[in-house]
Every structure is written in structure tokens, then in C-alpha cells.
């Protein structure tokens, strides 16, 4: 007997716009829109959905919905995650055997895990029930390729739990199909506006039925030229905290660049707490800084493997075919595949742990009640120059220290410290950029150039033992390790000195302009 493995999660990018419809309003016809073929007869569906959230509606507050839907062509469990203006990633899990008619079902564990950064492990409850009578038109081009889907929904909804109530409304949705684009959405919106139909203010059906029960998020300060130092730092900390939470589900799903983005936000927040320690009390944020360092290291184990594999693969692309001896690419793939899988499993285990949840709670506490010092009330434009100047001096000390050392491990360490100091300078300047404007943006760009040169040197150092290991493994397996030796020699001779000097001078010039 073959075992039943259960449903597999799939992800669909959904880009749509919602519009309010009065009961007597007629949707316009689309047959005269250039490039569109209008399907005259709509499909009709009866959709029944139960939405799940915590008692405090943490998912709704983050713009996330988790529902169980019956009816239509996509019945099952749906988790919708924000993915940009008008867009969401819908992660779908079909019903397990016999689940469609089961009473009081619980959401699948794999979807619950993707909400952990927002629910913090709190119980998920049924909070609303919606019944939708849907009429759906599929609009295509002349070749029959799907461009957009238009639906006319009549919705009846009731809230569940401690606070109950019911409501009903009518709305339209215009959703891109596989071959549509945003320009088409804009054209259709103009047609709707001419018919007196306006965009809905509610981002989702659930948000509409829950109304003011959804808690308002803590808003960051709006930055202006007259903003204070405290405003600048808090706005930046809010931004990085939001990025950490937003990328948590993507990291768990092992999406491209997700680990990198979450790690950078973690480092940015920690750097801001260090660079602006006279604005946000450093003693009271030191423990949080240590935990951010821990999270960056956990993310780094996975990210460093990504970077190293890409570096070696790209280097192989530059080797003439006659110098690639043996199954070199297969050996590289095999070496990294298992290590990356293990690193990802360990990363997800850390994100599932209590230490990570405590870190997220500490970020929330920092943003809700920041431990600001008296310096936070100072005008930002006066104080930011001093902070940038101090962080520039830190980089300069390491660069000069490296120049005084002979080639070798000690010099490599000094250059690595210069790179870390350059990151701190860049992140401190990023926070200041909304107030300082173009000079700050110039400094950010030039700091990034120095940082990339130093990073390239550090990546070469990290690649050396891996290439040596790959070459030794090739020899042990009876294949040729020549190509790995060739790559090793190229990395060993990789130095940033020729380009670093001019790039450093340009950075210093930009730093002086900001600090004036």
C-alpha cells in the first residue's frame, strides 16, 4: 500500500485591485478596450471562507490573511502575504483527505509556521466567516491568452468569537492573469472611473468586515528638513524592524535573496543602535544589539554559502573549457547542496525558537517606547554631520592601519575590520539621508564602492580553504583537482589595493561634504 503524503504547498503571485459597487451599478463592457476579448458569459461560483487570526488580530494588523475556502477552482487553505503595491503572494495548501467537510479544522502546520513572526506562537482562531456569490469573467487577447479576470462579488460576512456582527456588500475585483500587466490595470481603472466606480479603501474582504477592530500599527515619525535626531533614528529603526518581519516568511520558504535582505536589515538595526548611541540610550539597547548580532550570524551561515557558491561558479565561467578538467561543476554543486540544505534547516529551527521570538518582542518594545536621550531633541541637520564624521574616522583608522602592514593575515584582518566599519558608516548615513539629501546619498554610494572592494577581498580569503578542500576531494575520488588549484591561485593573488586608494579618496571627499 502506498502511503498518502498529503497536499503540497504552491505559491501564486496575485496582483489585483478592488472597487466598491452599489447594488444597482452595472460593470462596463470591455469589448471595445484595445487588445481585449470579452467573454460574454461569466462563470458563477459560491465561495465559503473562514478566516483565522489571533485573538488580537495580529495577522490582520500586518496585512496578512489566512483562510479556509470551499467552492471555486482553488478550494483549500490560503495564506496571503504582502508583496508590493496591489500584489500578494498566496501560498495554497489543498485539503487533506476528508478535510473539506471536517468540522472545526485547524490550519496546516506549514502555513502556521509562515505566520510565526507575526503571531509569536499565539493560538489561531476562527475570526470571520464570509459567503461570496461570484460572477467571474476571463478576459483574453485575440490568441486566447489570459490577460485579466474581472469578478462581481456579493459578500455576506459575520465576525466570530467574542465580538460578533454581520454585514454585506458588493465589490468588484480586477486581477491580472498570466499575460496581463499593470498598464492594462490602469486602462481598466479609467473605464471603471468613467462608470462612477471607485477603488475600495479596504485592502481585503477581511479588513472590511473587521473594521476598526484591527489594531493600528505603531507609526514611524515622518521626516522633514526640521526633524530631530530622535525622529531620524526612530524612522530608520522602524523601517528595519518591518523588513525583518516581512522577510521571515520568505526566508522560511527559501526564496531567492530573502536571507540576504533579512540579514542586512538585522545589521542595519544593530549598526544604527551603535552609531546613534547618544540618541537612543546605548546601555539600554546593548542586550538587543547582542541579540541582533546573534540573528545576523544565524542568517550568515546560510547566506555565506550562497555567496561562496555563486563566486566559485562565476569564476568557473571565466576558465577556458580546455582548463576545466573533470566533473568540476558537478563537484561544486554536490559540495554546496547538502551544506545549504543543512544551513537552511538550522536557520528555520532558530526562527522557530524562543530566542528569536524574544528578539522580535524586544524590537517591538524598543519601537513602542524608545529609550531616547536628551540628544534626541536636537535638530537633525546639526547633529548628523558629527555622527557621520565620527563613523568616517573609524573607517579611516582601519584603512591607515592596513596600509602600514605587510601582506598577510594581520593585514587581511585590518581590511576586514575596515569593511565592517564602512558598513556602519553607510548605514548611519542611510538613516540621515532623508534629512541631509544629495550629499548623504553620494556618501552612501561611495561607501558602498569601498565596501564592495573590501568585501571582494574578504570573499577571496574565505574561498581559499573551500577550493583547497574541493581539490583534495577531487584527488581522493580519483578525478583531477587541477581546475580547483587554478581557481585557488587566482583567489590567492586577489588584492583590492589598486582600486581601493582612489575609491577611499572619493569616499573621504563625500564624508567631508556631509560633515560640513
Model pLDDT, residue 38: 67
- The angle at the Cα of 230, spanning 227 to 231, to the nearest 5 degrees, equals 45
pLDDT of residue 219: 85
The predicted-structure confidence for 63-87, as pLDDT tens digits, reads as follows 999 999 999 888 999 999 999 889 9
Q: Taking residues 365-376, what's their average pLDDT?
A: 95
List residues bridging with 128 in a β-sheet. 51, 159
Same fold, 10-213 and 229-515: no
Residue 410 has pLDDT above 70, yes or no: yes
* Digit-coded pLDDT (tens) for 81-107: 999 889 999 999 998 876 766 677 889
DSSP string, 210-255: HGGGSPPPPPPPPP-TT-BHHHHHHHHHHHHHHHHHHHHHHHHTT-
Report CA-CA distances (Å) from 111 to 98, 126, 261.
Answer: 19, 15, 22
Q: Residues 498, 503, 506, 507: is their CA dihedral positive or negative?
A: negative
Between strands 146-159 and 76-82, the pairing is: unpaired
Tell me what the mean pLDDT of segment 34-51 comes to: 86
pLDDT at position 119: 97
β-sheet bridge partners, residue 174: 17, 150
Of the listed ranges 276-280, 383-387, 444-448, the one predicted with least confidence: 383-387
CA proximity to 54, closest of 123, 133, 112:
123
Please determine, for residue 39, whether its predicted confidence score (pLDDT) is greater than 70: no
CA distance linking residue 137 with residue 140, whole number of Å:
10
Query: Per-residue pLDDT tens for 177-221?
Result: 999 999 999 999 999 999 999 999 998 999 999 998 999 888 899
Architecture of the structural domain at 229-515: Alpha solenoid (1.40)
Which whole number is the average pLDDT over 353-374?
96
pTM of the model: 0.90
Q: What is the structure's pLDDT at 341?
A: 95
Q: Would you say residue 5 has pLDDT above 50?
A: no
Q: Which residues pair with 171 in a beta bridge?
A: 20, 153
Classify residue 326 as left (phi > 0), alpha (psi -120 to 50) or beta.
left
Give the chain's mean pLDDT.
Answer: 92
The pLDDT, as a whole number, for residue 6 is: 54
293-336 pLDDT, tens digit each? 999 999 999 999 999 999 999 999 999 999 999 999 999 999 99
Q: Mutual orientation of helices 258-275 and 409-436 as an angle, nearest 10°?
A: 80
Class of domain 10-213: mainly beta
Would you tell me the crossing angle of helices 438-476 and 497-515 to the nearest 10 degrees? 150
Please enumerate in sequence order all residues whose Cβ is within 8 A of that of 267, keeping only pairs 6 or more positions apart, or say none: 292, 296, 423, 427
The pLDDT, as a whole number, for residue 30 is 81
Pair 174, 17: CB distance under 8 Å: yes
Question: Is the confidence at residue 153, as pLDDT, over 60?
Answer: yes
The reported pLDDT for the residue numbered 100 is: 63
Match 571627499 to its residue by C-alpha cell.
Answer: 509
Report the alpha-carbon distance of residue 462 to residue 468 in Å, rounded.
11
Cβ atoms within 10 Å, residue 166: 10
Q: How many CA atoms lie within 13 A of 322 on its CB side?
A: 0
Burial group, residue 164, by CB count within 10 angstroms (0-12, 13-18, 19+): exposed
| Across 461-467, average pLDDT | 95
Range of lowest pLDDT (112-126, 423-437, 493-507): 493-507
Q: Are 266 and 347 in contact (CB under 8 A)?
A: no
Task: Give the domain ranges of the chain.
Answer: 10-213, 229-515
DSSP H helices, 152-201, are 182-194
Average pLDDT over residues 109-134: 96
pLDDT at 495 > cutoff 80: no
Per-residue pLDDT for 280 more than 80? Answer: yes
Q: What is the chain's Cα-based Rg? A: 27
Amino acid at each position: 500500500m502506498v502511503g498518502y503524503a498529503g497536499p503540497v504547498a504552491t505559491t501564486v503571485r496575485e496582483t489585483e485591485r478592488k472597487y466598491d459597487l452599489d447594488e444597482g451599478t452595472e460593470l462596463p463592457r470591455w469589448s471595445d478596450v484595445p487588445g481585449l476579448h470579452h467573454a460574454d458569459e461569466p462563470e458563477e461560483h459560491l465561495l465559503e471562507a473562514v478566516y483565522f487570526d489571533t485573538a488580537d488580530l495580529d495577522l490582520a494588523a500586518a496585512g496578512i490573511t489566512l483562510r479556509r475556502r470551499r467552492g471555486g477552482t482553488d478550494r483549500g487553505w490560503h495564506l496571503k502575504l504582502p508583496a508590493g503595491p496591489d500584489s500578494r503572494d498566496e501560498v495554497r495548501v489543498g485539503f487533506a483527505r476528508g478535510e473539506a467537510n471536517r468540522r472545526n479544522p485547524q490550519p496546516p502546520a506549514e502555513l502556521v509556521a509562515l505566520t510565526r513572526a507575526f503571531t509569536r506562537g499565539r493560538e489561531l482562531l476562527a475570526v470571520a466567516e464570509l459567503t461570496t456569490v461570484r460572477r467571474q469573467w476571463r478576459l483574453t487577447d485575440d490568441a486566447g491568452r489570459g490577460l485579466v479576470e474581472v469578478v462581481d462579488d456579493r459578500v455576506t460576512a459575520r465576525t466570530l468569537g467574542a465580538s460578533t456582527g454581520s454585514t454585506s456588500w458588493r465589490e468588484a475585483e480586477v486581477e491580472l492573469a498570466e499575460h496581463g500587466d499593470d498598464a492594462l490595470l490602469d486602462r481598466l481603472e479609467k473605464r471603471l472611473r468613467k462608470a462612477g466606480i471607485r477603488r475600495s479603501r479596504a485592502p481585503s474582504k477581511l479588513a472590511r468586515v473587521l473594521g476598526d477592530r484591527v489594531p493600528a500599527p505603531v507609526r514611524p515619525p515622518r521626516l522633514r528638513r526640521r526633524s530631530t535626531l530622535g525622529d531620524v533614528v526612530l524612522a530608520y529603526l522602524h523601517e528595519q524592524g518591518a523588513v525583518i518581519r516581512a522577510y521571515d516568511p520568505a526566508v522560511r520558504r527559501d526564496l531567492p535573496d530573502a536571507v540576504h535582505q533579512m540579514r542586512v536589515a538585522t545589521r542595519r538595526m544593530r549598526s544604527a543602535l551603535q552609531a546613534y548611541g547618544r540618541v537612543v540610550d546605548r546601555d539600554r539597547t546593548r542586550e538587543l544589539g547582542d541579540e541582533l548580532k546573534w540573528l545576523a550570524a544565524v542568517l550568515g551561515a546560510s547566506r555565506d554559502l550562497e555567496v561562496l557558491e555563486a563566486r566559485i561558479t562565476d569564476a568557473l565561467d571565466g576558465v577556458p573549457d580546455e582548463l576545466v578538467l573533470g566533473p568540476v561543476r558537478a563537484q561544486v554543486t554536490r559540495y554546496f547542496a547538502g551544506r545549504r540544505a543543512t544551513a537552511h534547516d538550522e536557520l528555520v529551527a532558530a526562527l522557530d525558537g524562543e530566542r528569536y521570538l524574544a528578539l522580535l518582542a524586544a524590537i517591538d518594545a524598543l519601537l513602542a517606547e524608545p529609550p531616547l536621550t536628551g540628544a534626541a531633541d536636537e535638530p537633525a541637520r546639526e547633529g548628523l554631520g558629527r555622527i557621520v564624521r565620527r563613523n568616517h574616522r573609524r573607517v579611516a583608522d582601519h584603512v591607515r592601519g592596513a596600509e602600514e602592514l605587510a601582506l598577510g593575515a594581520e593585514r587581511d584582518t585590518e581590511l576586514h575590520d575596515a569593511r565592517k566599519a564602512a558598513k556602519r558608516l553607510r548605514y548611519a548615513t542611510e538613516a540621515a539621508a532623508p534629512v541631509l539629501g544629495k550629499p548623504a546619498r553620494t556618501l552612501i554610494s561611495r561607501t558602498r564602492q569601498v565596501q564592495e572592494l573590501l568585501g571582494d577581498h574578504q570573499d577571496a580569503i574565505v574561498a581559499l580553504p573551500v577550493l583547497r578542500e574541493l581539490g583534495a576531494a577531487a584527488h581522493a575520488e580519483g578525478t583531477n583537482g587541477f581546475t580547483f588549484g587554478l581557481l585557488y591561485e587566482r583567489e590567492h593573488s586577489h588584492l583590492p589595493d589598486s582600486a581601493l586608494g582612489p575609491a577611499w579618496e572619493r569616499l573621504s571627499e563625500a564624508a567631508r561634504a556631509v560633515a560640513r
